[in-house]
Amino acid sequence: MTEKDQEKSDWPPWWDWELDLKSHVLERMEDRHFTEVDLRRMMEYATGFRQARRKSRWIIETKHQNFNWEVVVQPDTYTELLGVITAYEVKRKRR
């Protein structure tokens, strides 16, 4: 379930953890035309979140250059780091 435009204080405790950029997202940055600064800005202005198919991962809903994007994260409760797995533009499905 999406928590659209919910106050950040109502988000999970891991939301404020330091980001840990995983190799996959680092490899995709050039291909998908975004930087670490862009990614951090996307996270800062996120509008919602929902559980991903993998139970340990979450999808963060955001925007980048006026397009909808999703950032897949995986909180690590042991290290209290928020692993960023990947980020991608949300493409509209053709009808």
Q: Is residue 1 part of a domain?
A: no
pTM of the model: 0.87
Give, in order, the Cα–Cα distances in Å from 22 to each of 66, 67, 72, 84.
25, 23, 11, 6
Range of the domain at 68: 49-95
Mean pLDDT of successive 10-residue stretches along the chain, which has 95 residues: 57 95 95 96 96 95 96 97 97 68
8 Å CB contact between 83 and 67: no
Q: Is residue 12 part of a domain?
A: no
Q: Is residue 33 part of a domain?
A: no
Q: Is residue 27 part of a domain?
A: no
Q: Which pLDDT score, from 0 to 100, does residue 2 have?
A: 45
Q: Is residue 74 part of a domain?
A: yes
Q: Is residue 24 part of a domain?
A: no
Q: Which pLDDT score, from 0 to 100, does residue 71 have?
A: 98
Tally of domains in the chain = 1
